[in-house]
Structure formats: structure tokens, C-alpha cells
Structure 1
């Protein structure tokens, strides 16, 4: 038998690798699992695991170039869609493009059923514990939980004590972070009960992989995700008492690191994206400030940390919450998914008590064990942790990060990285610390420049409440480390993410989120439009038009400065003064286009980013790409003709956005706000240009320039002779209702839009 990279072929390599002829492509050649750790691709004998063979064979059939080409398609989709994660550093925040690990995590259906059962049990346990701690607190009274575990936890929010959530359930969306140990068993590393993140990114990963490898996902009968999101949406709607249901996703806003996901989920689920400033509470009822006045809302899918919800009763420094929101919850007029204070279960110290709580509350042992945890406020547990300190991770008791993640005072061994003696620290402040075992995580193949390399990973799995109980998303959000250290201590929030494929024995019926059984009522009434969204739509229209006007002025100036047009120089000072009005102080500077026009488009992108749930992917892509491209075109100034070419290209891109808005956007109030902004901005520019270039003392050639700036030169020449007169030019540019560039046309269209405002 041949050997390929130290791994015998035959049944252990893909079928195509055993055929005769030229040496076939073997994607797993040279792959070396991490010593002493479970590997997802290979078993202990170096054999490709059965549930991976179809994928390996399919990649082999693609060939090396074909495989990388497919994965490049997935990257292109994510880039074109504008998927990003906001990162913060000492210099501020920036948007980091999403990095996809192209090899998915493949889990057979039989193994997945075990994970499902364990997580359903754990979700029920978390729900039961939250119900007790915010109710009778029997678990504290009988000693099942130390009072300090609850009272000292910053996520224990006293305003919600003895306040039953509307609908009677605290958790609507639950998630657990899982790791697989060297023995192949899955372990729970952390519970996510507040507002689990990653759902939107998991869905985007799936969309990217399905687009790149559709035949491979079909061959593996990869289970679909749409059914889960249908249950999530329908479950939120069922909690509403309004008709039709009025549901919103509560987000901290566009500067949050997960804002892309919030906007994407709101658009995908068909619910409103709501910021705290969009809401007000009147008479213990929550309302959305809309352009049509206050509209009641009674369900919020919460992606805002609980302490920020209400500055009156929770964190008084919160500027993103809603004063009085807790009173609406207390009056049962508002349902939060998940409830306020549900983040209590995420504390690391709670992990130490989960096995015993399962037996006390459910009368069962945990089906999925969690990582061994000791709360150092207990004398016996503290002594046990210190006895094996060199193999323990010490961290803050009420932190929520995964084992080994940065922060929360993490250290391994008796001496902390900052020099503190952990034994002395635990003796004096033991209740503030936990100890956890160091986990050796399983590894997943990652495609690098050199081929496939093993990388440790953590899997996040999501559950939502369906009609008949918990529904587990058949997939997940897999975070893959950049490094090869297979201990959890090396994972730093995941440098990459991978799709998760649950391979089924039989194909599934296609599921669509567009329709649900029983949702057959035709509705043409517009959805709620918060005043904040209307304002951003208005300014998006203005900024996009302003960018076009600035480009036309800059093109006219550069054309004349280069001597490419038969126009005298006296126009240049007037053009320069008009450009200053648009923030461009030196039209011939190398960065006049990239910085001057770029600043206007950056403002347009900021407005668009705040309403991503209301823009189509194509519209957002045009705004984002145009802004990014213009900002990147700075040159050394030696080739002004290149700047002119850039301007022509930029004008075409802006025309593309205008076409999308004209042909693809529904004629609802949001569209009218954007068009009103565009019309007013064009009217201001046209009036300003006419005042300067059609004045009685305007330089020679100014009338031609005015026609050029208003894109009316061809219309004028078709209607009049080649020579121009002030009267006819002003009539065409200012008064002609049939000219879509005239001032009269702008005011008429703006009036029509404004008349349709609520």
C-alpha cells in the first residue's frame, strides 16, 4: 500500500486517491493531528472518520485549485455582504472583516442527538434556577446555593425579584459553549442565558458555504437552519398580545461590536431594529417613537446587557437604556427575550453547582457534564483547588469569559502573572475566585497556505422555545483558534469561525422563512419606522446626493485646470469657492477626491450602517464599497487624469445606488424620507450653482458650466441652438418641471413626498 504524508491510503484516503493514473489531489495529505488531543478529522489510528469521508472525497474531486477557488467564493460572498465584527483598541474602534475557516465541523446525526438531549436538559435547569432565584429562593434557603453566589453577582438584578416575566419564562434563547476533551466527550464550558451572540454569524457562515459548495452540502444531507429561525421568529410573535404582533430587537446601537449581527437578524426575522432612544414608557406601557407618533410594542428580543436596560432602576449611568422600562416589565406589559437578570446563570461560579442543582431541581444527573469548577468561597473546594494549583485555572468568580480567555484575572498555578500569591488571595477573598481544570480542546482542520493544519475550537450551540418545547439549531457557531496550543487557555475569543454541518441520513424538505402556517393575512400597512431610522434615511439621501454634487464640481475644476476643456481660467476661482462649500479646500491636492468626497461618503456610510436592517444587501454593498473605494484612491498628485477617471467611476456607482433606490425600494415612508433628503440636497446645490454661474457678472463660459453641473447640457442642445442665453438656461435649470435636474422638479417632488408623511 502507498503512503501519502504518513497516512496509509486504501480506505483511509478519499476514493479518488486510490484510482490509477496521475497522482490525484489528496486534501488530507500531510495533516498531523495534535499529539494527545482528540481530532475531529482523524481517529486514533490515523483513519479519516466515517462521517468526514464524503467531504474529503468531494474536496479531492475538486482538486487543489478548485477547492481554493470555491473557498475564495465563500470569502467573496462575506466581503460583498459586508459581514464585519467591530474591534476596540487603544486607538478606537474599527470594523474587522469576518474571517471564515473554510473546513466545516462535521457532526453525525447520532452524536448530535446526544448533544441535543443534554442541552435541552441544561436549558430547563437554567430556567428552573432563574425562576427560583427571582422568586421563592428556595435553593438559597435549603443551602443548595450559597447566598453570596447570588447576592454578589452583578447580574443579579434586584428590581426583577418577585417579578414574573410576561409569559412565565425567563429564557427564550439559550446557548452553551462546548468543548471536546481528549476522551472524545463533549463538555459544557459556559452557559449563555442573557443574549447569546453568534446566531447571525452562524447563519452567514452557512450562506457562504452553501453558495461555495452546494453539491457537497447536498451530498452530506446537511440539516438546514431555516426551521430554527422560523421557530425563533414565531416564538417571539406568540408572546405578543398585539394584533398584528409588534416585536423588536433591542440593540445597543451601531458602535456595538455585534451590531452587524443585530441588523442582520432583525432583517432576516422581519422584526424592527430598536435602540433605546427609539423607546419611551408612558403609563407602564412601552412605545416606539415613530414618524406616525407613538406606537405600542410589547416584545423585545434583547441584545442589550441587562444592567443597561433602565437607568432609573438599574445602572444610573446607562445612556442606551429606557427610563421606566422595568415598570413596563413589572406590569406585564412588556416581554423581554431573555428576561432582565437572566445573565445571572452565566457567572463562572455557577458552574461549580450545576451538577448538584441538576439532581436537586430535576432529579437527574447532567447528560452533558460541565468543566470541573471549584468555587473558592467554600473552604473544602478552596483547599482542593490549591492542592492541585499547577493544573488549575484561577479566575474571577463572576466573570463570564470562557476558561483561558484573556481578562478576569486568569492565571494557572499558585503565582499569578502579575506576581500575586494565589493562596494568599484565596484565603482573603476566596468568594471572588473560582478554579477550573485546564481543558485540552479537540482540533479541527483549518486550511492554511501549507495545507490543512489542526486548530483547537469551541462550539456554541443555540436553543429557542418552540411550540412544543425547546428547539435546538441543527448547527452552531464554531470559533477556531489561530494557534496550535490545544488548551482552552490559548483561545482568545476565536480568530476564525467555521460552519457546523449536522450530517443526516436522509435529505430534508426545503424550509423557507418567508411564510409560516397560519400567517396568510395580506397586509399592506407599513411596518413601524422609528424616528431615528427616518432621520438616517433622510441623511443618507442627502449625503449620497452631496457626494455626487461634489464629484461634478471637482470634475469640472480638474478638467479646466488641466486645460482639457475650452473654458477660460476665470471659472477656476468660482469653482474653488463652490468646492469649499462641500469641504474641499484645495481641489488640486492629491487627496481632494479621497479625503474630500471620501468624508461625505463616510458620513453616508455611517447613516446607512445605522439602518442596515432597512437596506437591501445590494444597497448596503454599494454604499459601503463606494465609500471604501473612494477613501482608498489617494495618489501622489502626479496624475490628475487618474483622479478624473476615479470621479467618472464614482459617479457611475452613485447612479447605481440611485437606480436601486428608484427601482427596488418599496414606496413606503422610509423611501420617501430618503428621497426627500436627496431632492432637498439637489435643490440646494442647484440654487447655489445658479446663483454663482448664472449671475449677471458671471465669467464667460459660466452658463455652459451650469448646464454641465446639472447634467442638462444635452437637453439644452436638443431644445435650443448651440449658443446659450441666460434666460433659456435659467428656465431649464430652475423652472422646467420636465427636467429631473431642475430646481422646480426637486421642490415639486419633495412636496409630494412630504404630503405623504404621517
Structure 2
């Protein structure tokens, strides 16, 4: 017989109230939500030892599947399994509707921005974004000028990072349009939930995510605008930190996983050797950076790319996803202008807010940042993985002084934001259930015909108490994301 828990019981079971931050499962969903009540009831019936055994089984699953990531500078070694937290993150259907609409709106505007800057450059001529900031950007590729893409889609796969503040409001923290990663963690987290806690998964009104690989294949095919295009996943190789994901997606889509040794260009067409002979490649889902794509166009010392690939691409004989040159749009110094892009290209108000951002390239904003660095988060505009950033309230005076010097020397390379009190969620620790900070990365898929997003995304969790850095490369872990029907 099911035990009915009071709200105070649920708060106690979920480790709530101790941090003072917005707790998504307690302050938001509340005990009136049947799913949260069921999770709390299930947790109440488990001992700490039983929960830790389940988490250990999850770790073994990741190890068996070869799901690892890099933690640079970690004394335990560079390559480790991703920490997984058994307690899911819950989003209500109405919340997901807001998130998905905001993400799709944003990606549409960013794709139109990319098409604009490589063609008429209206947004630059109008002075909405400084011309030099775009045209002198290291990711701006002159080779893409005037090159038309099907449906003006540059970013077929986009990862949009979302946070919630102390009041539970959603904010866009970052756009990832080059080679966004983490979708394999999202899918594997759901598989683990279904395997280890089936009594919760099977009886909950959850929206599914298992359709992502097939949806990704359909979206890639639609960008080629061919009846049955030949698709490959291009990886830099097994030493890349995201290699597991490359192999995972290729396997799940039932397409070849290839490296530069498997492809060649002939008469501006890309080919692969198969058991049936030579096969023309129509779509390349690349997981290598622009600079390494083609040694004849970019870095001549690259052994990861294919000689002549850009010539084949610019001749419209192959689709590269995501398109070369998309990096301009996800730079942190361009991020503050996305609201303006939405208004300019879509004539709409932004559905999701940006975090207020100071651009150190501007003298008056630089002065403010230098004088208030102890209260701000300062980031390299091209930084990723939690590297190249300073969290002022958690930094020493020496660290702040060092960062001030770096910013003074090259102010155009840095932006700063107020320290957002990231929301927290119940998380299993060695001593029990406690609150840890989280974020969310939904994945948006775009083709000339449609924009799609699977319900959920990758929830990343800072496994260290008090840490605001959720990146796996910095020791963060992952949670399954449950979106209710």
C-alpha cells in the first residue's frame, strides 16, 4: 500500500532547504505533483547503501559501454567514466513548452544571422552588431561568402545551455553551434533509469527521447534534399574526448563512422570505399573543428580532414553539418546580440532571456568589470568546457588579480556576467541526498522543412558541494531529464 507523504516529509527526503538556492523539485514542482511524490516515496523506501549500489551499477554500465570523458589535471588520471546521478531532474510539460519554443526561436534567428553575414550583411549595415566584431572574428570564413545553403540552415544540430536563477526564471547561458556534444549522455541516462529504476519509469507519464537518433538521420537527409542520401559521421579518432558519442550516434543512425583515411575527393565529389565498391558521400556529420576540415583550405598540417573537401562543399556536392563558419554565432561576445537578432530577423520578442553581459572590448564596460571582478563571472569569449573562466565570489585575491591582468592585456577576448544563483536539484552524495547546482542542454535539430527538439536534454550537475561548474571536463556529472506529459 502506497504511503502518503506530507510536504515536509518530501522536503526532508529530497535533502531540500539546506543550500538556500531555488530547488527545482521542491520549490517548483511541489508535493502536488504525482511524479515528485512517487520519486520521494521510492527514495524513502531505499537505504543510502541501496542507492549507492544502484549508482555503482550505473558507473559499471558507463564503463562497459566505454562512456568516458576527460578531467584535465585530475590526480586520478585523465580518462574517467562520467558521474551519473540516479535521482532524475523533473520538468513539467508547460515548462518544457516554454523551453522548447525559446530554443527553437533562438536557433532560427541564429541560422538567419549566419546566412545574413555571409550574404547581404543587413544586420551589420544597420549597425545592430559592430561590423568589425563579426568580419574580424577568427571563426568568420571568407570562403563561405555568397555560398547558399538549403533553407539557410547552417546549424543542423544546436545545443542551447539553459539555467534557472534564484526565482526559478529560465535564462539562456550559452549557444553551441559548432560541434555540440552530450546527446549520448542524454540517451544513455534514460536507458539507465529504465534499467535501474523501472518501477518509477514505467508508471510515469514521461515524454520519450529514444527517437532522437532516427530524427537526427531524417534531419540530415532533409538538408541534403535527396531521396536516399549517403550519410557518414566524421570523427577525429578514438583519442578524442567525445569519440564514444561519435561512435554511438553512427551506430544508432546506422551510418558509417569514418575518419579522414576513409574519405577522398575526386572531381569535387566525396567518396568512401565500401564492401560494395566506391560510394559517393552526400552528407558529412562532422565532429572536427573548421581549422582541421581541409588541409588545402585551412591548416596545411591537418591530418584529420580531407584534402579538397571545401571545394566539394562549395560546389554543392556534399552537405557538411554543421556548416563551416558557424562558430561566429556561438561566440560569447556575439551572445549579447541574439535578442536583437530575434527582433531583427523574426520580428518577435525573445521567449527566453539572456543573462546580462558585459563586453570587455568596450572601455566603460571594461572599467566596470575590472572594478567588480570579485562579484562577476568572467569568461573567455571562445572558452568552453568550463575552462578559461573566473567565478569571482569563489576566487582568491591572487586569482582575481591574475585575471584582471589577462583581461587588461586582451579585453576583446573576455566577457563578464553577474553571478547567477544557479538552481539546485536533489543529488545522491556519499553522505546522503543533498542539493547540487544544475543546468540543461536541449538539442535542437534543423532542416529546410522543420525544426525539432526532443523533450528533455542533457542535465548536467556539479557533483562538488557549492560548485557552479557543471561541465564533465571539470568533474561534473549527468542526470536523466524527465519531462511530464
TM-score between both structures, scaled by the size of structure 2:
0.89
Find out whether 1:225 has 2:200 as its counterpart. no
5 Å-filtered alignment, 1:54-453, equals: 54-61=38-45, 67-87=51-71, 94-166=78-150, 168-240=152-224, 244-290=228-274, 292-386=276-370, 388-397=372-381, 399-401=382-384, 405-407=386-388, 417=399, 419-420=401-402, 422=404, 429-453=410-434
Mapped partners of 1:214, 1:488: distance in 2:
30
Mapped partners of 1:107, 1:125: distance in 2:
25
3-state SS of the aligned residue for 1:226? coil
Residues 472-504 of structure 1 show CA distances to partners (whole Å, capped at 9, x for unaligned) of 111111111122225459996452111111111
Find out whether 1:472 has 2:468 as its counterpart. no
Match of 1:482 in 2: 463
**Displacement of 1:149:** 2.1
Residues 13-32 of structure 1 show CA distances to partners (whole Å, capped at 9, x for unaligned) of 36xxxxxxxxxxxx944824
Alignment CA distance shift 1:486-1:428 (3 Å):
closer
Match of 2:441 in 1: 460
Alignment CA distance shift 1:49-1:347 (3 Å):
farther
Residue-pair matches, total: 480
Mapped partners of 1:245, 1:482: distance in 2:
42
Between stretches 363-372 and 100-109, larger displacement belongs to 363-372
Mapped partners of 1:367, 1:123: distance in 2:
12
**Displacement of 1:49:** 6.5
Mapped partners of 2:364, 2:346: distance in 1:
25
Between stretches 184-193 and 206-215, larger displacement belongs to 206-215
Alignment CA distance shift 1:452-1:62 (3 Å):
closer
Mapped partners of 1:415, 1:351: distance in 2:
29
5 Å-filtered alignment, 1:501-650, equals: 501-504=482-485
Mapped partners of 1:73, 1:428: distance in 2:
49
Find out whether 1:13 has 2:9 as its counterpart. yes
Mapped partners of 2:136, 2:32: distance in 1:
47
**Displacement of 1:185:** 0.7
**Displacement of 1:262:** 0.6
Match of 1:40 in 2: 24
Residues 120-179 of structure 1 show CA distances to partners (whole Å, capped at 9, x for unaligned) of 111111111111112222222221111232234322222222212355311111111111
Match of 1:553 in 2: none
Mapped partners of 2:391, 2:345: distance in 1:
31
Mapped partners of 1:421, 1:97: distance in 2:
31
Mapped partners of 1:485, 1:279: distance in 2:
47
Alignment CA distance shift 1:90-1:30 (3 Å):
closer
Alignment CA distance shift 1:121-1:69 (3 Å):
same
Residues 189-239 of structure 1 show CA distances to partners (whole Å, capped at 9, x for unaligned) of 110111110011211111111111223112221211123332211121233
Question: For the Cα contact (< 8 Å) 1:157–1:307, is it kept in 2?
Answer: no
3-state SS of the aligned residue for 2:218? helix
Mapped partners of 2:451, 2:238: distance in 1:
31
Structure with the higher fraction of residues in strand conformation: 2
Unmatched segments (≥5 aa) in structure 2: none
Mapped partners of 1:429, 1:109: distance in 2:
44
3-state SS of the aligned residue for 2:278? strand
Question: For the Cα contact (< 8 Å) 1:232–1:466, is it kept in 2?
Answer: no
Structure with the higher fraction of residues in helix conformation: 1
Alignment CA distance shift 1:456-1:197 (3 Å):
same
RMSD after superposition: 3.1
3-state SS of the aligned residue for 2:271? strand
Question: For the Cα contact (< 8 Å) 1:280–1:289, is it kept in 2?
Answer: no
Question: For the Cα contact (< 8 Å) 1:74–1:211, is it kept in 2?
Answer: no
**Displacement of 1:302:** 1.7
Alignment CA distance shift 1:418-1:56 (3 Å):
closer
Mapped partners of 1:395, 1:416: distance in 2:
17
